[in-house]
């Protein structure tokens, strides 16, 4: 029988949680003191935070503890990448029910650490506490390496909309899981462990991206944030967004709309960016639309009438 | 009737949440993009995170929304102060039930902002999401101003243990509230809004403190962390910790042990530090014990047989 977090007790639990966290040269002081210390060579630090709640953002019967760690880390690391910054560190706070197996927390820690390590970052601190609803909050820090942050507000008429990374896969995977299936693995795996195109964020900043966003609420919703904040209209060209065959097959089998997954599904943590019209797009980026004067987002020149994305407080 | 968070919807809610956040010269980019940016003039950034869960760390019938904001901010800002650093910024993530009044979230935001402003810091970002159990995670960032961080591990035999700030008041307040009373106000107010001695952390670092900790789990437990991490024994001298009259009266009325509140109550976020023996203690610090060779914490030379502090996973 696995011990529960209540049986292990807080101090031993913290030890079991933090021993999964490797260090990097940027870590001046890791977990174990009142706070951690990480280098900020640029003299500025980029920071964001994101909370995952069991039942709303993950289910323990759908995702392993390590999956949840990967997912929570990815959501934050992608936000740092979307500023054109290099992620340096994560902090993780967990509220755990007393009967949670302690090894679940260890799995979470290993997932957080592995996802951080994939971008050269480290988990430097955290908090574990009791809460009857399993909740994970991750904070990510990053370094701008001397560049300006790439905001949502810099798009100009005439610019080009581009995408890096995959979209629709996580939404498909969630759809598969919520119908009680466990395959196709390509979709389910994408939902469990998103693969944000981290280096594409920094590359876009280096190539002069004028606006950028992490696609976490769905392509149309997030491109809409760029349109709103920049005071421009953006048209998404679906000819540039073909539905992959595996996705189409899965959607057909489920009677679902693969194009809806592509356009409104979040959680793959793709990056959407706007570049000047004459840009040579960096590797991994493809042109998917255009920016013009006006307001709002259109799809192939028409108003989109389906849902645009995810409102975390919407009724079920 | 006040609108609920579900009625307001996520995007308008974020707007209502973040409009309470003032800025400071250190804020390069505030809320509203994928991540925020704050200066880190030292080239390093101090970071910590702490999670408060309704029912375990606060109750809505005991604390106003603003109180919870003050409390959540204070817990983190005190950790930054305990490193000898100057707090610069907070991030706040909130999971809120759908029926939470939107104005509760606004009250939380105002409390976070006010507590941050009291130390010259700003709330730079956050996340609001749905969760059936109201949960607040705050992350704090700070600047070391060129100094080394003050760890828990630097105490040496012959050193002096000192305290800044109040202890026992929040524990008394919690005891009062949990018995169904609302006064005395000095205790209840201390529980609702701790008053950490923020500047004392930086002052201690400047005066050569060798070890420091935020007293959040109780004096004996937290001094125990210094003893363990430094490989020394620490004796707490209760003659230096007289029970204030208001606290003694309240404890007597409740049949409670005021000395227990002082020695094992957390959440006032006092600072405990160890200084070299010949130090002239900075203002606000008082000598409360001694460091010697050995291990563990004693009280007036004797082993403490009562509880030492708070284990967040302990059974009720």
- The tens digit of pLDDT for each residue in B151-179 reads 999 999 999 999 999 999 999 999 999 99
CA distance A154 to A201: 15
Instruction: Read off the pLDDT of residues B228-260 as tens digits, 9 standing for 90 and up.
Output: 999 999 999 999 999 999 999 999 999 999 999
Instruction: Number of A to B CB contacts under 8 A, please give it.
Output: 253
Contact predicate B124/B116, CB 8 Å? no
Helices (H), B127-244: 169-178, 185-192, 198-206, 219-230
**In this model, does residue B315 exceed pLDDT 50?**
no
**Cα–Cα distance, B222 to B167 (Å, whole number):** 12
Starting at the edge strand found earlier in the chain, the sheet holding B122-130 runs A27-29, A36-39, B44-53, B135-143, B86-96, B122-130
Dist. CA B106–CA A162, nearest whole Å: 36
Question: How many C-beta atoms surround the C-beta of residue B238 within 10 A?
Answer: 14
Residue A74: phi and psi, rounded to 5, are: -60, -40
Q: Give the minimum alpha-carbon distance from A248 to chain B in angstroms, rounded to a whole number.
A: 31
pLDDT at residue A260 greater than cutoff 80: yes
Contact A213 B46 (CB under 8 A): no
Picking from A154-163, B1-10, B77-86, B280-289, which range would have the lowest pLDDT averaged per residue? Answer: B1-10
Query: Which residues of A are annotated as part of the binding site?
Result: 34, 49-50, 57, 79, 126-127, 152, 214, 216-217, 267, 310
What tokens were used for B171? Answer: 């524990």
pLDDT band at B308 (very low <50, low <70, confident <90, very high): low
Nearest to B232 by CA among B161, B294, B160: B294
CATH architecture, domain B5-143? 2-Layer Sandwich (3.30)
User: Phi-psi category of A131—alpha, beta or left, where left has phi over 0 and alpha has psi -120 to 50?
Assistant: beta
Whether residue A134 is predicted with pLDDT greater than 60 in this model: the reply is: yes
Say what the pLDDT of residue A306 is: 67
Q: Which residues of chain B neighbour A92 with C-beta distances below 8 Å?
A: 49
Task: Give me the CATH topology for the region A8-143.
Answer: 60s Ribosomal Protein L30; Chain: A; (3.30.1330)
Contacts of B43 in chain A (CB under 8 A): 39-41, 43
Q: What are the tokens at A132?
A: 């009857």
- A142 Cβ contact partners less than 8 Å away, ≥ 6 residues apart: A45, A46, A47, A80, A81, A83, A85, A86, A87, A88, B35
What residue segments make up the domains of chain A, in order of their start?
Answer: 8-143, 160-303
> What percent of chain B is predicted at pLDDT more than 70?
96
Listed in sequence order, the DSSP H helices in A121-214 are 169-178, 185-192, 198-206
First to last CA, chain B: 36
Per CB-CB distance under 8 Å, the chain B contacts of A130 are 53, 56, 312-313
All residues at 6 or more sequence positions from A37 whose CB lies less than 8 Å from its CB, including other chains: A27, A28, A29, A124, B44, B45, B46, B47, B83, B144, B149
Residue B311 has pLDDT above 70, yes or no: no
Beta bridge partners of B135: B53, B95
Q: Cβ B229–A32 below 8 Å, yes or no?
A: yes
Instruction: Enumerate residues 6+ apart whose C-beta is below 8 A from B71.
Output: B52, B57, B58, B63, B111, B192, B193, B194, B267
Q: Do B49 and A140 touch (CB under 8 A)?
A: no
Write the residue in A44, A93, A133 that is nearest to B133 by C-beta.
Answer: A133
Q: What is the pLDDT of residue A316?
A: 40
Q: Residue A307 pLDDT more than 90?
A: no
Identical fold for domains B5-143 and B160-303, yes or no, is no
Three-class DSSP category at A39:
strand
The pLDDT value recorded for residue B10 is: 79
Q: Which two tokens stand for residue A206?
A: 């280096």
- First-to-final CA distance of chain A: 36
Choose from A137, A144, A315 for mutation: most chain B CBs within 10 A.
A137
The band of A9, judged by pLDDT with boundaries at 50, 70 and 90, is confident
CA within 13 Å, CB half, A61: 6
Give the closest-approach CA distance of A183 to chain B in angstroms: 28
Both tokens of residue A251?
């959607």
Contact partners, residue B44, CB within 8 Å, separation at least 6 = A28, A37, A38, A39, A40, B144
Domain B160-303 is in which class?
alpha beta
**How far from the centroid of its chain's Cα atoms is residue A161's Cα?**
19
Name the DSSP class of B33. B
How close does chain B come to A246, measured CA to CA in Å? 31
User: In a 3-state reduction of DSSP, which class is residue B190?
Assistant: helix
Q: Cβ of B47 and A91 within 8 Å?
A: yes
Take residue B289 and report the two structure tokens written for it.
Answer: 């014990």
State how far the Cα of A84 lies from the Cα of A73, in Å rounded to an integer: 17
Across the range A99-123, mean pLDDT stands at: 96
Spell A158-182 as b/e; 16+ CB within 10 A means b.
Answer: ebbbbbbbbbbbbbbbbbbbeeeee
| Per-residue pLDDT at A308 | 65
Residue A71 CB burial class (10 angstroms; 0-12, 13-18, ≥19): buried
Instruction: Write down the pLDDT at residue B14.
Output: 85
A32 CA to chain B: closest CA distance, Å? 9
Digit-coded pLDDT (tens) for B203-234: 999 999 999 999 999 999 999 999 999 999 99
Neighbour count for residue A242 (Cβ, 10 Å)? 11
Structure tokens belonging to residue A133:
């609803």
* Per-residue pLDDT tens over the stretch B105-123: 999 999 999 999 999 999 9
What are B19-56's pLDDT values in tens digits?
Answer: 899 899 999 999 999 999 999 999 999 999 999 999 99
């Amino acid at each position: 029988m696995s011990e529960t977090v209540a049986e292990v007790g807080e101090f031993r639990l913290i030890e079991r949680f933090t021993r999964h966290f490797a260090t990097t040269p940027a870590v001046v002081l890791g977990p174990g003191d009142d706070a951690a210390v990480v280098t900020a060579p640029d003299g500025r630090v980029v920071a964001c935070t994101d909370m995952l709640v069991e039942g709303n953002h993950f289910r323990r019967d759908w995702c392993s503890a390590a999956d949840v760690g990967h997912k929570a880390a990815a959501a934050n690391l992608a936000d740092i990448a979307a500023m054109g910054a290099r992620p340096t560190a994560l902090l993780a706070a967990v509220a755990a029910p007393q009967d949670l197996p302690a090894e679940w927390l260890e799995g979470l820690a290993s997932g957080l650490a592995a996802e951080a390590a994939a971008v050269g970052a480290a988990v430097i601190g955290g908090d574990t506490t009791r809460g009857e609803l399993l909740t994970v909050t991750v904070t990510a820090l990053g370094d701008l390496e001397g560049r300006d942050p790439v905001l949502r507000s810099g798009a100009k008429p005439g610019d080009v909309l581009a995408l890096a990374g995959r979209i629709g896969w996580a939404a498909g995977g969630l759809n598969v899981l919520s119908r009680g299936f466990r395959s196709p693995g390509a979709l389910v795996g994408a939902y469990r462990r998103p693969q944000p195109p981290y280096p594409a964020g920094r590359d876009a900043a280096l190539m002069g991206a004028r606006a950028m966003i992490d696609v976490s609420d769905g392509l149309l919703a997030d491109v809409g944030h760029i349109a709103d904040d920049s005071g421009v209209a953006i048209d998404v060209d679906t000819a540039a967004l073909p539905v992959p065959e595996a996705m189409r097959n899965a959607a057909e089998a489920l009677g679902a709309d693969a194009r809806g997954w592509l356009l409104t599904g979040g959680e793959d943590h793709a990056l959407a960016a706007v570049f000047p019209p004459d840009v040579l797009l960096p590797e991994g980026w493809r042109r998917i639309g255009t920016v013009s004067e006006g307001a709002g987002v259109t799809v192939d020149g028409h108003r989109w009438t389906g849902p645009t994305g995810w409102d975390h407080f919407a009724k079920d």
